[in-house]
Amino acid sequence: MSTRPAAGRCLVDLSAQDRLRSRAPERAPMLRVLCCPPAGAAAGYWRFLVREDVHVLGAQYPGRESRFREPAAPTVEALAAEAAAAVAAAPWARAAITPGASADVPLVVLGHSMGASVAAELASRLEHREGIRVALLALSAKTAPGTAEVASTGAGTGAGSDEDLREGLDPLAPGADAAMVRWLRRLGGTPEAVLEHPELLALQLPALRADLRVSMAYDRFPAPVGAPLLLLRGTEDVTVDPGGLEAWRPVSTGPVQRREYPGGHHPLADHGDRLLEDLLACAASGRSG
């Protein structure tokens, strides 16, 4: 008997959920965005991207929402493998395999922070193992594997030099939760209502710690994809410098473009329209090229 999670649990159709709430009719999308969230976050992190003419799907990691009771994934590669299997089983995936199909919609694989590592692995698996063409790989706010750390960070890098982060990773250490809250507050992106609520924190911290360990252990590049590469960064993000982001170059044999958005480590939600414009333009230029 298979122990693999059902596709619906590890790949969430955020656009379909939005239509159910709004009762809006389904429209043919001009872009399909497959999103990998950062450490501790659920697929719904990407809900800000949902538009009537954009199909947004989020990878749902174990340990949160519909997968709350599932054990954490052991590696980034395991997260990417289950997401790739779910994508391959999706009805729309056949169009991505057939060049020139009338229903063909550009597929963007997008990952933020830890999700950038998952996205790189996922795009590689889709292209090399599933035969699914990716129009664009977009990586945000994450230093590439093997790149020297930015001092006093940890979230966007491989090893984690931040003292609060190191103390917070061990849930049995005295003051671990308080250290993790201090680190999250400096990083930004987590609502104060969560940081100040012990019960909510108790639900979120196990998944966050598991994700951070997995992210820090990731030390390889997957087989490169032929899709263009888009590198994204907040202008005030101290967790990853332009050089560390640029070091993702080996994951693609296509052209590289770069975009910066005002803000820190989590700037994308405040610039959703601009992000979609950039994704659509870069995906279109890659397909025409």
Give the residue numbers annotated as catalytic, written as ranges.
Answer: 113, 265
Pairing of strands 54-59, 31-36: parallel
Q: Residue 263 in 3-state DSSP?
A: coil
CA torsion sign, 233 to 235 to 240 to 241?
positive
Pairing of strands 136-140, 107-112: parallel
**Separation between Cα atoms, residue 122 and residue 115, nearest integer Å:** 10
> Residues near 263 by Cβ (< 8 Å), separated by ≥ 6?
234, 235, 236, 237, 270, 271
Q: Residue 102 in 3-state DSSP?
A: coil
* Residue 183 neighbours by CB distance under 10 Å: 24
Residue identified by tokens 């480590």 is 265
**Separation between Cα atoms, residue 124 and residue 102, nearest integer Å:** 24
Buried (b) or exposed (e) across 70-89, using 16+ Cβ within 10 A?
eebbeebbbbbbbbbbbbbe
Residue 159: how many CA atoms within 13 Å on its side-chain side?
8
